Amino acid sequence: MNRACIFSIQRASFVDGPGIRTAVFFKGCGLRCEWCHNPESWSSQPQLLFYQNRCMQCGRCRIACPNGAIRDDYTVKVDLCSQCGMCEQVCPGGARELCGKMMSVDEIMSEILADRDYYGPDGGVTFSGGECMLQVDALESLLRFCKREGIQTAVDTAGNVPFDLFEQIEPLTDLFLYDIKAVSSSLHKSLTGADNALILDNYRRLHQFCAEKLIVRVPVIPNRNAIDMVRIADFVGENTPVMVELLPYHAMGISKAQAFGASVLNTKPPSQAEMEDFRRLFRERKVVCV
Amino acid sequence: MLSKRLCIMAERYHNFDIYPEAVSPEFDRGDLLLKGFGCQAKRTAEYILAQPIGLNDDDRFVGRIRFNGCVEGEIYNRSGYKNNNELISKFYKQPFENLCTYDSQHSTADFGRVIAEGLEASLIKIEESRSKHAGDLDGLSYLDALETVIRAMIARADLCAAACEEKAAFAEEPRRSELLEMARILHKVPAKPAETFREAIQSLFFLFQFLPDSIGTPDRYLYSYYRHDLDAKICTEEEMKEYIQELFVTINAFRPYDNLWSGDKGGESHFSLGGFTPDGKDGFNDLSRLIITAMMELPLYRPQVSLRWTPETPIEVLHFVMDAERNDFFKRIALVNDVPRVKMLTNHIGMAYEDAIRYTMIGCNEPAIQGAIYYGGCKTNMVRSLTRTLYDFENECIACEDFDAFFEVYRKHYEEDMKRFIEICDGFNLYRSRDVDMISSILLNGPIEKARSATRSGLKVATSGTDMIGWVTVIDSLCVIRQFVYEEKRFTMAELIAMLRADWNGFEEIRREIYRTAKYHGNDDPLSREVAAKVSRMIRDFFTDKRNVFGFKFVIGNQIGYCAHHTYFGKNTPATPDGRHAGDNISFGGGQGGGRDRKGLTALLNSVADMDPACIVCGPCVTNVMLDESLIRNDSYFRKTVSMVDSYFRKGGLHVQLNYVSREELLAAQQEPQSHENLRVRVSGFSGYFTRLDPGIQREIIDRTVKS
C-alpha cells in the first residue's frame, strides 16, 4: 500500500520519543479518549475544520461549495460535505482547513528525509495518530523505506489492533511507544469508549516478543485515570524491565476541538508534586521512568 | 562563585563611573605651527600624560584612561574622530537616496602581538620603516608621530607604576607587597614583552584603553601564559579567573552609562573563543572555559562573546557554552560557524588560511581581522533595486515571459544600485580619511610598515563591507512573483504592479491569500531555496571583483546595528510583492518572522543554512530564533536543542542567537514597561533591555515566530 491518510506531519518534535524526531500523524482511531487533544484524528476520512474567529463572513465558501453544504451561519452540514476542499482554497481568512489528506509514501518520506541531518543517533521518525496501525500496509511501506535510509523508527500505538499487525511491522520498528490509559476495564471503557482486554493482552505479548523495544506511555489525567494509577503501575511492573513515560494532561488541543465541533475534556493539569508521586509508584515497582 | 573583592568591584562599577574624569590639558597654540603630524602627535602625548591615574584600594591593574575628544582623530572610541562623527550625525540614521546609511567602523587591536613583543619593539620597527621611507616626508612625519605617542604610552605606564609605589609607602601588608608587585609589572609592560599571565593581563588592561573595542581572541594569545603559569605553579586558575574578571569590569565600564544605544554601559565590546587552529583542529581550550566561567559569575552587561564553532567542536563544549547562555540573564553569548566564514575570507577576500583563522567577532556580530579596521560598512537597502525595477521599469517587467527573464531585469537594476553604493561608500571612506589616527595605528598591523594612518589604507589587511538590509524581503517578494505570476498564474505582472501602486488597497483578499499560501523563506521549500540561491549568486557575481577606494574587498552581511535601519529604509520603500505595505519595516537578518515560517524550527534552520550557497555572507549577520522556554528549562529538551544547533552548523548555518521569551510577554512588556524593566533579549548583535529598545526593533522581535 503506497498511500495513507495523514492529518499532520510535525518536524522538530522533542516530545515524540528520544532525540529530535519527525512525527507523522495518521488519521483514524478506534478510541474516543475524553482528553484527546487531536479529535480530528478520530475519523479515518478527511474532514473540514472551521475556525469561527477567523471567518469574515464574506460568503466565498458558500459560493464555491458544489454541494451547498455551508449554512447561513457558515457552519457545515456534515452529511453534505464531500471534503473537496474548495472552501479552504477560496477562504481569504484561513477559517477553513481540510484536515487529513491522502499522501503517498514518497510524499511522506520527502518530509521525513528533510530533517535527517538533525536526527543524530537518538532521533528519527515516529509514526503516530490517531492509530497508525489501522493503516498498517502503508505504515509497513514507510518503515521499510526508513530502514533503507538508515532512519530510526518508532511506532506510537494504543495497541487496540490484532496482534498479527505487530508481528508484521516489528522487524522494521526500533521502538514501540505503547499507550496504557487504564487497567480497570470499566474505567477504560468509560474514558475511551473501548474495552482494554486486547490492549493489555497485546502488551503482554509484545513485551515477551521485544521488551527492549518498548516504552510504555501513560497519560495522567486528574480525576479520570489518575485514580487507576496504582493498578497501572502494578500491571506494568509485572513485566520488567521496561521504561515508562508519564504524560501530564494539557489543554492545548481545546481550541482545535472547538474548530472541529467536538467537545473535549477541559480540566486542570496535574501538579509537579502529583507527577512525582506517580513516578514514585512506578519506581517502587522497578520500572524506569523516562 | 564571585570573590568578595570582585563583588565589591562590580558593586562599585554599577553605582559609579570607575574611570577617572578626563582632563583637557591646555595646549600651546604654537603646536599649530608644527609641520606634518607634529601638532596632533604632541597634543596626543600631552593628553595621555595629563590624565589622572585611577587606583582604588582593591585594584590589581592600573591604567584606566578615557579620551574626551579634545585630541583629534582617534578611531575608537570615536570621540575625537571629527570627520567620522560628522558623517554619523548626517548619515547614520538618515538613509542617503534611500540606498545606504553610513556605518562607523570597528577596529580590532592585535593585542596578542603587542603583549608578546612589547611597545619598544614597535620603536625598533619605526626605525626600520624610516629607512624604507626616506624621502617620503609625510610618511616620516607620521612615523615621528607614532614614536611620540608610543613613548607617551610607555611613560604613562611608568607614571602608573609610580602611583603604585607612592601608595605602597603608606600601605600595610599584604596590600603593600601587592602594590610593589603592580609597580614592578608596570615598569615592565607594556614596554617590554609579558612573561606571566598577570603581566599579560596588565598589558592587555593598559593597552585596551587605547583601542577599547574588542579584545579579540584572548583564549589564543593568552594561552601560553596561562599554561606556563599553571605548569610553573606561579598562579592558580582561581587567581587567573579573578584577573580576567577585573579586566572585564573595566572593559564594561570604559564608556559611561549611555541611554542612546541599548541602555547599557560598555558599548559593543565583543570577543570570541574557539575556532579553527592552524592545524585545522578546534581551538576551544581550558582557558576558553575559564573565561566563560569568569564572565558568567559577573553581573555585567558586557563584554559579549561568540563561540566559534567548528566541526571538531565536541558536543560537550557546545553544551557547556549553551548551558551558560541559557542561564545568562544578560544574554551575552552568541554562536557562529567558522566553516563558511573562513571559507569566505580565504576564497573571496583572498586571505591565507593562517590569517583568516585569526578573525574575531566584534561589535554587533561583526567579523573582524585582529590588527585591522573593518572599513565601515554602510547599511544598504537591498529592496530598493527590486521596487525600482517594478515601479520604474514596469514595461520591462511586463515583457518578461518567465521568472528567469524577470530576474535578469532585476539583476541589472540591482547592479546599478550596487555601483552607486560603492561610489557612496568610497565617498564616506575618503571623507573619513581626513582624520588621521595615531594611537589605534600603533595597535593595528601595517601603519608602521607603510608609514600611513590606518584611515588612509595603512593597514596590511582590511575589509570594507555592507549589510544588505531587506534580504529576506527580497527573497519573499521574488518567491511571490515566481509562484503567483509565472507558475500558478493567479495574476499577471501588470496586475501585481497595479496592486503594489495601490499599496494593496482594494486588494486585501489577494494580499491575504498571498500571506496564507506563499512559499516564503523559512519553510524549507524548494522554490524559496532556489530563489534564495539565485539572490546569493547574484550578490557574489557582482562583488567578486569589486574593491573599495583603498583597494580592499567587500564583505557582505545582513544585519542592523543598534538602530532600526530596517525601519528607516522601510519608511521610504513602497509596497512589495511579499504583501508588505508601503512604509512598513523591511527585513533584516537571515531568519523569518511575522508567522511566515510555518513548518517549525528545523525548517527555518534548513532554510537559513541553505540561503547562501555562494557563501558570500561572511560579514555581520544574524539569525534570531525565538524558542519556547520549555526547550531549555527541561534538561532533556535542552540536550536536544544543543544537538539541533550542532546539526544546523554542520549544514552550513553561519550564526544563531537564541531568545527564550514568549510573544505574550513581549506584548505585555510594551503595554506595561514598568513591570518588565528587567526583560532582556538578544537583538541584532547585542542584547538589551527590551523596554528601552527602539520601537521598530521591538516590533521586529515580537514578530519573530516562537518555536516550541
**pLDDT at residue B108 is higher than 90:** no
> Which of B335, B197, B319, B310 has its CA nearest to residue B624?
B335
Nearest-by-CA chain B residue for A20: B640
Put simply, the answer to whether B643 touches A118 (Cβ < 8 Å) is yes
Please give the interface size between A and B, counted as residue pairs whose CB atoms are below 8 Å apart: 49
**pLDDT at residue A215 is higher than 70:** yes
Mean residue pLDDT of chain B comes to 89
Given a contact cutoff of 8 angstroms between Cβ atoms, the answer to whether A47 and A40 are in contact is yes
Section A268-275 average pLDDT: 87
Put simply, the answer to whether B524 touches A114 (Cβ < 8 Å) is yes
Nearest-by-CA chain B residue for A122: B640
> Which of B544, B542, B540, B561 has its CA nearest to residue B553?
B544
- Per CB-CB distance under 8 Å, the chain A contacts of B651 are 117
Distance, CA of A31 to chain centre: 11
CB proximity list for B453: less than 8 A, separation 6 or greater = B142, B433, B436, B437, B438, B441, B447
- Per CB-CB distance under 8 Å, the chain B contacts of A12 are 600-603, 644, 707
**Nearest neighbour of A118 by CB, restricted to B509, B512, B644:** B644
- What is the percent of chain B with per-residue pLDDT over 90, rounded to a whole number? 59
- Per CB-CB distance under 8 Å, the chain B contacts of A92 are 508-509, 512-513, 516
A14 at B interface, C-beta within 8 A: yes
Chain B closest CA to A29's CA: distance in Å?
A: 25
**pLDDT at residue B36 is higher than 80:** yes
Put simply, the answer to whether B644 touches A94 (Cβ < 8 Å) is no
pLDDT, position B393: 97
- Per CB-CB distance under 8 Å, the chain A contacts of B602 are 11-12, 20, 114-115, 118
> Which of B186, B182, B208 has its CA nearest to residue B60?
B182
Section B120-131 average pLDDT: 97
Most confident segment among B299-308, B558-567, B692-701:
B299-308
For B300, phi then psi, to 5°, come to -120, 155
Nearest-by-CA chain B residue for A90: B513
Residue A130 and residue A44: Cα distance in Å, rounded? 9
Put simply, the answer to whether B602 touches A10 (Cβ < 8 Å) is no
Chain A closest CA to B503's CA: distance in Å?
A: 18
Given a contact cutoff of 8 angstroms between Cβ atoms, the answer to whether B579 and B480 are in contact is yes
Given a contact cutoff of 8 angstroms between Cβ atoms, the answer to whether A93 and A128 are in contact is no
More confident residue, B251 or B497: B497
pLDDT, position B543: 93
Helix axes B4-15 and B237-253, enclosed angle (nearest 10): 0
- Per CB-CB distance under 8 Å, the chain B contacts of A11 are 599-603
Task: Count other Cβ atoms within 10 Å, centred on residue B309.
Answer: 27
A272 at B interface, C-beta within 8 A: no
Most confident segment among A245-259, B39-53, B343-357:
B39-53
Residue A99 and residue B91: Cα distance in Å, rounded? 52
**pLDDT at residue B3 is higher than 70:** yes
- Per CB-CB distance under 8 Å, the chain A contacts of B647 are 20, 117-118, 120
Nearest-by-CA chain B residue for A22: B602
**pLDDT at residue B638 is higher than 50:** yes
Nearest-by-CA chain B residue for A16: B637
- The separation between the first and the last C-alpha atoms of chain A, rounded to the nearest angstrom, is 35
A56 at B interface, C-beta within 8 A: no
Residue B623 and residue B651: Cα distance in Å, rounded? 15
**Nearest neighbour of A12 by CB, restricted to B516, B601, B650:** B601
- The three-state secondary structure class of B655 is strand
Q: Cα separations (Å) of B12 from A11, A142, B605? A: 49, 64, 42
B598 at A interface, C-beta within 8 A: no
A88 at B interface, C-beta within 8 A: no
- What is the percent of chain B with per-residue pLDDT over 70, rounded to a whole number? 94
Total residue count of chain B as it appears in this document: 708
Strands A152-157 and A124-129: parallel
pLDDT, position A5: 95
Put simply, the answer to whether A92 touches B637 (Cβ < 8 Å) is no
pLDDT, tens digit (0-9, with 9 covering 90-100), for A80-104:
888 888 888 888 777 888 888 899 9
Task: Report residue A64 as a C-alpha cell.
Answer: 464555491
The model's confidence at residue B259, banded by pLDDT at 50, 70 and 90, is very low
pLDDT, position B321: 97
Sign of CA dihedral B202, B204, B209, B214: negative
**pLDDT at residue B708 is higher than 90:** no
pTM of the entire predicted model: 0.89
- The three-state secondary structure class of B111 is helix
More confident residue, B594 or B307: B307
- β-strand partners of A157: A178
Helix axes B223-231 and B286-297, enclosed angle (nearest 10): 100
Residue B129 and residue B273: Cα distance in Å, rounded? 34
A20 at B interface, C-beta within 8 A: yes
What type of residue sits at position B393? F
- Per CB-CB distance under 8 Å, the chain B contacts of A25 are none
B651 at A interface, C-beta within 8 A: yes
A58 at B interface, C-beta within 8 A: yes
Put simply, the answer to whether B603 touches A92 (Cβ < 8 Å) is no
- Best residue in A117, A119, A122, A246 to probe B by mutation, most B CBs within 10 Å? A117
Nearest-by-CA chain B residue for A115: B602
Chain A closest CA to B666's CA: distance in Å?
A: 21
Put simply, the answer to whether B602 touches A114 (Cβ < 8 Å) is yes
Residue B80 and residue B84: Cα distance in Å, rounded? 9
The model's confidence at residue B246, banded by pLDDT at 50, 70 and 90, is very high
pLDDT, tens digit (0-9, with 9 covering 90-100), for B182-214:
999 999 999 999 999 999 999 999 999 998 889
**pLDDT at residue A108 is higher than 70:** yes
pLDDT, tens digit (0-9, with 9 covering 90-100), for B497-512:
999 999 999 998 899 8
> Which of B631, B626, B655 has its CA nearest to residue B642?
B631
More confident residue, A50 or A107: A107
pLDDT, position B702: 79
Residue A171 and residue B55: Cα distance in Å, rounded? 74
**pLDDT at residue B261 is higher than 50:** no
Quote the ipTM score: 0.84
Q: Cα separations (Å) of A276 from A220, A226, A264, A281, B294? A: 11, 13, 26, 9, 36
Q: Which of B253-267, B277-291, B379-393, B594-608 has the lowest mean pLDDT?
A: B253-267
> Which of B70, B566, B682, B61 has its CA nearest to residue B329?
B682
Chain A closest CA to B631's CA: distance in Å?
A: 8
Residue A257 and residue A82: Cα distance in Å, rounded? 20
Nearest-by-CA chain A residue for B513: A92
A67 at B interface, C-beta within 8 A: no
Put simply, the answer to whether B512 touches A58 (Cβ < 8 Å) is no
- Best residue in B640, B662, B706 to probe A by mutation, most A CBs within 10 Å? B640
pLDDT, position B73: 61
Given a contact cutoff of 8 angstroms between Cβ atoms, the answer to whether B662 and B629 are in contact is yes
- Per CB-CB distance under 8 Å, the chain B contacts of A10 are 600
Section A110-133 average pLDDT: 95
pLDDT, tens digit (0-9, with 9 covering 90-100), for B646-696:
999 999 888 887 877 777 888 888 888 877 776 777 776 666 778 877 777
**Nearest neighbour of A92 by CB, restricted to B512, B602, B640:** B512
pLDDT, position B513: 87
Nearest-by-CA chain B residue for A121: B643
Q: Cα separations (Å) of A139 from A1, A20, A26, A259, B283? A: 8, 20, 9, 28, 46
**pLDDT at residue A176 is higher than 70:** yes
Chain A closest CA to B608's CA: distance in Å?
A: 14
A10 at B interface, C-beta within 8 A: yes
Residue B222 and residue B302: Cα distance in Å, rounded? 20
- Max CA pair span of chain B: 88
Residue in the block written with cell 561608500:
B425
Chain A closest CA to B707's CA: distance in Å?
A: 10
More confident residue, B233 or B667: B233
